[in-house]
């Protein structure tokens, strides 16, 4: 999905990166799901608010593949955000 993230501390995820992830958020392949969740966890280390907002959009999805990605991706978010998103997952 993303091969690497810039080392620059000022890096913030772009809408383009989120658009790429949009295309695979419901992918059936576990490898793709794991890669998307990893990318989101890495992105959240630099901009947790942007990733949390992105995950909010998908947390109420009925697609089990999307829900798996969201469950894995929240692990590096602040506790408050994890709680909110997990509540949306049900």
CB 5 within 8 Å of CB 17: no
CB 55 within 8 Å of CB 40: yes
- Read off the pLDDT of residues 4-56 as tens digits, 9 standing for 90 and up: 566 666 778 888 889 999 999 999 999 999 999 999 999 999 899 999 999 99
d(CA 50, CA 36): 15
CB 68 within 8 Å of CB 33: yes
pTM above 0.85, yes or no: yes
Residue with more model confidence, 4 or 72: 72
Q: What is the mean pLDDT of residues 67-76?
A: 98
């Amino acid at each position: 999905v993303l091969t690497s993230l810039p080392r620059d501390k000022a890096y913030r995820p772009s809408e383009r990166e989120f658009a790429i992830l949009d295309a695979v958020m419901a992918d059936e392949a576990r490898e793709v799901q794991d890669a998307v969740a990893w990318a989101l966890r890495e992105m959240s280390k630099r901009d947790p608010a942007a990733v949390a907002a992105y995950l909010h959009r998908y947390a109420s999805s009925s697609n089990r593949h999307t829900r798996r990605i969201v469950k894995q991706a929240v692990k590096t978010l602040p506790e408050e955000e994890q709680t909110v998103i997990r509540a949306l997952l049900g």
